Amino acid sequence: MAKAPVLTPQADDFPRWYQDLINKAELADNGPVRGTMVIRPYGYSLWERMQQELDARIKEAGASNAYFPLFIPQSYLTREAEHVEGFSPELAVVTHGGGKELEEPVVVRPTSETIINEYFSKWVQSYRDLPLLINQWANVVRWEMRPRVFLRTTEFLWQEGHTAHATYEDARDYAARILHEVYADFMVEVLGISVVLGRKTGRERFAGAINTLALEGMMRDGKALQMGTSHELGQNFARAFNTQYLSKDGRQELVWQTSWGVSTRMVGGLIMSHGDDNGLRVPPRLAPVQAVVMAIKGDDAVIAKVREIGDRLKAAGVRVVVDDRTDTPFGRRAVDWELKGVPVRVEIGPRDLEGGTAMLARRIPGGKEPVPVDGIAELVTAALEEDQAQLLRESRERREANTADVSTIGEALEASSSGWARIPWADLGPEGEAKLAEEAVTVRCLVAPDGSVPDSEDASGTLAVVGRAY
User: What is the contact surface with Zn ion in residues (CB under 5 A)?
Assistant: 82, 208, 236
Nearest alpha carbon to residue 133 among 160, 114, 161: 161
Residue 119 near a second copy by CB under 8 A: yes
Identify the residue among 328, 407, 408, 418 touching a second copy (CB under 8 A). Answer: 328
Burial class (CB in 10 A: 0-12, 13-18, 19+), 209: buried
Nearest alpha carbon to residue 165 among 136, 213, 127, 207: 127
**CA-based torsion, 418, 424, 427, 431: positive or negative:** positive
| Phi (first) and psi of residue 244, to 5 degrees | -120, 160
Closest CB 156 distance from Zn ion, rounded Å: 24
Site for a second copy in 89-118 (CB under 8 A): 89-99, 105-106, 108, 115, 118
Closest CB 238 distance from a second copy, rounded Å: 18
* Residue 82: contacted member of a second copy, Zn ion, none (CB under 5 to 8 Å, by partner type): Zn ion
| Under 8 Å between Cβ of 272 and 222 | no
Residue 239 near a second copy by CB under 8 A: no
* Residue 236: contacted member of Zn ion, a second copy, none (CB under 5 to 8 Å, by partner type): Zn ion
* Residue 91: contacted member of a second copy, Zn ion, none (CB under 5 to 8 Å, by partner type): a second copy
Size of the site for a second copy (CB under 8 A): 58
Assign 107 to helix, strand or coil.
Answer: strand
Nearer to a second copy, 29 or 324 (CB): 29
Nearest alpha carbon to residue 161 among 75, 82, 228, 246: 228
Q: How far is CA 236 from CA 162, 210, 392, in A?
A: 13, 8, 38
Peptide bond into 110 cis (omega under 30): no
Nearest alpha carbon to residue 309 among 344, 334, 336, 333: 344
Site for a second copy in 122-151 (CB under 8 A): 122, 128, 134, 138-139, 141, 143-145
Residue 40 near a second copy by CB under 8 A: yes
* Residue 431: contacted member of Zn ion, a second copy, none (CB under 5 to 8 Å, by partner type): none
| Phi (first) and psi of residue 290, to 5 degrees | -90, -30
Identify the residue among 21, 37, 233, 292 touching a second copy (CB under 8 A). Answer: 37
Nearer to Zn ion, 209 or 392 (CB): 209
Residue 272 near a second copy by CB under 8 A: no
| Under 8 Å between Cβ of 255 and 286 | no
Specify which residues 141 forms β-bridges with: 155
Residues that bind a second copy (CB under 8 A): 29, 31-33, 36-41, 43-45, 47-48, 64-73, 76, 88-99, 105-106, 108, 115, 118-119, 122, 128, 134, 138-139, 141, 143-145, 154-155, 157, 327-328
